[in-house]
């Protein structure tokens, strides 16, 4: 009888350890995803050519750097 009690408590302990491990993996994954997304949004800036407050010359130069030769040809 005592053996069955010990076995069941060990089994419960293993299940708890597995659940804790799975939860910690999920938490780590969520933290990594959130940190990656937040750094992406922080570093994402509006291109210079789309900012109306910038000087026209700077905006034109920025746009020309981004255009392909074919796009420049058809302009």
State which residues form the domain around 16: 1-44
1 and 35 part of one domain:
yes
Which pLDDT score is estimated for 8?
65
Number of domains in the chain: 2
Matching residue, tokens 């920025």: 62
Taking the C-alpha atoms of residue 25 and residue 57, their distance in angstroms, rounded to an integer, is 51
51 and 40 part of one domain:
no
3 and 34 part of one domain:
yes
21 and 9 part of one domain:
yes
Spatial contact of 63 and 49, defined as CB atoms under 8 Å apart: yes
pLDDT along the chain (75 residues), means of 10: 56 74 82 81 78 93 93 89
pTM of the entire predicted model: 0.42
39 and 4 part of one domain:
yes
31 and 51 part of one domain:
no
38 and 51 part of one domain:
no
């Amino acid at each position: 009888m005592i053996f069955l009690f010990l076995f069941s408590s060990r089994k419960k302990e293993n299940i708890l350890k597995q659940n804790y491990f799975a939860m910690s993996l999920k938490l780590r994954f969520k933290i990594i995803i959130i940190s990656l997304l937040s750094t992406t949004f922080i570093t994402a800036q509006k291109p210079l050519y789309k900012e109306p407050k910038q000087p026209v010359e700077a905006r034109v130069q920025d746009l020309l750097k981004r255009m392909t030769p074919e796009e420049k040809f058809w302009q």
